[in-house]
Structure 1
């Protein structure tokens, strides 16, 4: 499709209603339009609305510059160094992101330093057509125009939505080199939406999967957490294993059948309404490796368990710059599962039953027992004991120290 001749779908021919769009987002769109600027709902929110899904957030694209946006909104703050974004803040810590349309730079606009080229791509303002062309997938390059409530398709995203096909904008061999994280996002969208990947995506992943190791750890960390939030971690990491991506994505994660089966159980737990915490996700990622890392002599040794948990968790958390509090919680969950797996009757059991991390560790252990059914009786036994233990933090009072004064003679 020629981007200069887009498909424009009028309001009467698509399913998006303003009632489905966040009220504050509509306020921003309408004010931009009222002052003569183009104001489009962009990216994943348009895709999700067309698919009948509720978007997680709403982003706005406009031809207004960041400084012009700031003049229109008192509650606007500009962020970013390489490319300025307008963040418009509302009550309840809500932030609406407004980005000026961008384009790829011309050769003479590139910096002298070759390493800055990819970062510099984000610095050049452009038109809606150019902005669509620099996005990752065609289904993410759809725009909703608040001026006439139409949907604008520059690159064939509507057809790909209809055919449930994920297609990279441009050549995947080039686009994956520009941004290796797009390989993971391709798998994520295909699994989350039930779409098929184009054959050229598979070939590009095979050629460039090692580049995932060069991606910014913070971006990989956020993408991994998104997999857990969207309840697709098991399915996505299974496909990443089949495509040879895991060693470059999560260097310490073995990706065994049992480990991935545990993640699938965790996804079911999240789908049932249990919120996912990063510490719980990390513990689930490495539980199988942790539980199978002990020699027969150390299978009941809590000191060995502490050492193993620290070794496994610290490597992951150090690479992804994860806070010590999250690292501590993940380690406690692994140690709790170790105590549960070795059975009852050991020293300090009463204190363990009342430990604040024990119920969470039991949740993880119960998921693990569904992967290894021989552990189900043990999980049930512990569940009964933990449910019957005192829940209050009853601390025994220490006897008050008496001051013995020497009697004066």
Structure 2
């Protein structure tokens, strides 16, 4: 369907919510964003706060960042701000930098390309469709989800809704703008982002979007691995990885995000435990994520193999992780840290009192392995009594006294011979 044709879900005219009928105040908006908005307005351009910032403010949440939409072109924005840098070859954006590391992203309103816009030789301008400037309404219809297409007008402090986003916020529903089958084919990563927003906001997923994810899931394998890697880490930073992985697997999406991967129930429980840990204020690292994704598979393989030398266990861990790391271009250092977590859990699972325990306890990776094993226990993937025994053994393990450096003996200098002796 044409995404600019109104339907029963999309109003034919924009819904404008005046200042008296919404809760957004300028006091809630970043000071540097206001500077950008006001300067654009003073020079005769339209300037709106756009996207997730407006959504979060209406939901009573603190936005991660604030983005600005305008009818000024990127070059016109650059002329207004000395601290502006144009970025992006495919999609030109203006980045305005302020003291303290603050960055405000300014995007010019775009529109969908038509057949008339297509150049005779697209190879000479492969990104022509990404930089066709348009009206605010045309720009709203290019966005992904209705709740992300709301505008806050700095001129009269109203909320402008072209696509029914206000109604969907009220109904706590995530809905794609236009035909989900078409929009997911345009950018398959939108399928993963849809599941992320549902988990983060506690919304329901529109049934047409759910069906489209099921039908279009294989397309996400065409997305750049680097982009998918970052999107996956965002799930952990937002504390929704367990929820999203479960939904992605249920819809047949996960096996295309991570080629051939299936998350067992123990893995999903472990991801939930990591989300709870992150929500409690503990930072999440990629090595921890990597170890968690493969711990259940790793443990099952070792149970079948029986007691093995540590060197062979480390080799098995590395071999298990290598295909994932090669696909997502993950550095060998991160892979090694994840392998150490897996091997550390294997040693913990064998219990204290074994040969080499003191050396293991003093190893730099021990504390991280013990913390990871605690997460495994919370997820039902470890032995709580063993965890307690290891903690008890720490109080009983004598600390190795620091070695004293041997005192260096100074050599006596030979007395200089006197002139009379020469």
TM-score, scaled to structure 1:
0.91
Query: Which of 361, 365, 368 lines up with 2:369 in the alignment?
Result: 361
Q: Deviations over 1:176-207 (max 9, x none)?
A: 11111111111111121121112211221121
Residue in 2 that maps onto 1:407: none
* Residue correspondence of structure 1 range 249-260 to structure 2 within 5 A: 249-251=257-259, 253-260=261-268
Tell me if the contact between 1:354 and 1:389 (Cα under 8 Å) persists in the aligned partners.
no
In the alignment, structure 1 residue 341 sits paired with structure 2 residue 349: yes
What does residue 68 of structure 1 align with? 76
2:238 aligned residue (230, 235, 240) = 230
- Within the alignment, does 1:122 sit opposite 2:130 as a pair? yes
Give 1:175 shift.
Answer: 0.8
Whole-Å separation in 2 of the counterparts to 1:348 and 1:402: 36
SS for the counterpart of 1:40 is strand
Query: CA separation of 1:134/1:117 partners in 2, compared to 1, >3 Å: closer, same or farther?
Result: farther
1:376 deviates by 0.2
- Per-residue deviation at 1:167? 0.9
Superposed CA deviations along residues 27-76 of structure 1, whole A, max 9, x for unmatched, are 21121122221111111111111111111111111111111111111211
Which segments of 5 or more consecutive residues in structure 2 lack a partner in the other structure? Answer: 1-5, 412-422
TM superposition shift of 1:390: 8.1
1: CA distance, partners of 2:124 / 2:57: 36
Q: CA deviation at 1:395?
A: 5.5
Equivalent in the alignment of 1:308: 316
Quote the residue 1:101 is aligned against.
109
Q: Which residue of 2 aligns with 1:21?
A: 29
Residue correspondence of structure 1 range 353-392 to structure 2 within 5 A? 353-372=361-380, 375-386=383-394
Going from structure 1 to structure 2, the CA distance change for 1:39 and 1:163 (only over 3 Å counts) comes to: same
Q: Where does 1:202-351 land on structure 2 (aligned, <5 Å)?
A: 202-251=210-259, 253-294=261-302, 296-351=304-359
Specify every segment of 5 or more residues in structure 1 that has no aligned partner in the other structure, as ranges.
405-409
Q: Distance in 1 between matches of 2:124 and 2:186?
A: 12
Tell me, yes or no, if the aligned pair for 2:376 and 2:382 is still in contact at 8 Å.
no
**Counterpart secondary structure, 1:286:** helix
| 2:150 corresponds to | 142
| Alignment partners' CA distance in 1, 2:317 and 2:150 | 46
Match of 1:9 in 2: 17
Q: Is contact 1:118-1:178 (8 Å) kept?
A: no
Q: Secondary structure at the match of 1:61?
A: strand
Say if 1:128 and 1:340 are closer, same or farther in 2 by CA, change over 3 A: same
- 1:318-354 Cα deviation digits (max 9, x unpaired): 2112233322322222222222112223333222212
What is the TM-score normalised by the length of structure 2? 0.89
Q: Secondary structure at the match of 2:302?
A: coil
